């Protein structure tokens, strides 16, 4: 199931404002950058950087993920462990708003999202 158009517009606006705030300085973005992807009902924050083995290849690695649960009107929160699988963020597995998810990622009290 995908998000409806109204919800998608709100998500894009929220994410674009967030990314504009947290992106690295323009002069280093070719080395490391921050982006996001909307896939079905998920929003995935990504680190964007050249591959270590092949610097001409750009990698997009997810580090925080949230999934909208329409019938409960909540966002589930996930982080990616070393096993490269998404795990529920147990200190706070759900939030009410997408902005609450972004606050959790920024605070990163348990060093799950950014290491």
State pLDDT tens for residues 74-115.
999 999 999 999 999 999 999 999 999 999 999 999 999 987
State pLDDT tens for residues 57-74.
999 999 999 999 999 999
Q: Decide if 35 is inside a domain.
A: yes
Give the residue carrying structure tokens 């200190």. 91
Global confidence as pTM: 0.91
Domain with 74, as residue range(s), is: 5-107
SS (H, E, C) the chain: CCCCHHHHHHHHHHHHHHHHHHCCCHHHCCCCEEEEEEECCEEEEEEEEECCCCCCCEEEEEEEEEEEECCCCEEEEEEECCCCCEEECCCCCEECCHHHHHHHHHHCCCCCCCC
Residue pair 110/91 in contact by the 8 Å Cβ criterion: yes
Q: How many domains does the chain have?
A: 1
Q: Decide if 114 is inside a domain.
A: no
């Amino acid at each position: 199931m995908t998000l409806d158009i109204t919800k998608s517009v709100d998500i894009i606006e929220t994410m674009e404002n967030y990314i504009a705030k947290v992106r690295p300085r323009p002069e280093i973005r070719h080395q490391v950058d921050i982006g996001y992807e909307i896939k079905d009902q998920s929003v995935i924050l990504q680190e964007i950087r050249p591959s270590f083995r092949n610097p001409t290849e750009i990698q997009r690695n997810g580090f925080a993920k949230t999934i909208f649960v329409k019938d409960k009107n909540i966002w589930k929160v996930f982080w990616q462990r070393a096993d490269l699988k998404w795990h529920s963020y147990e200190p706070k597995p759900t939030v009410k708003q997408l902005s609450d998810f972004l606050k959790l990622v920024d605070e990163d009290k348990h060093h799950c999202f950014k290491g």
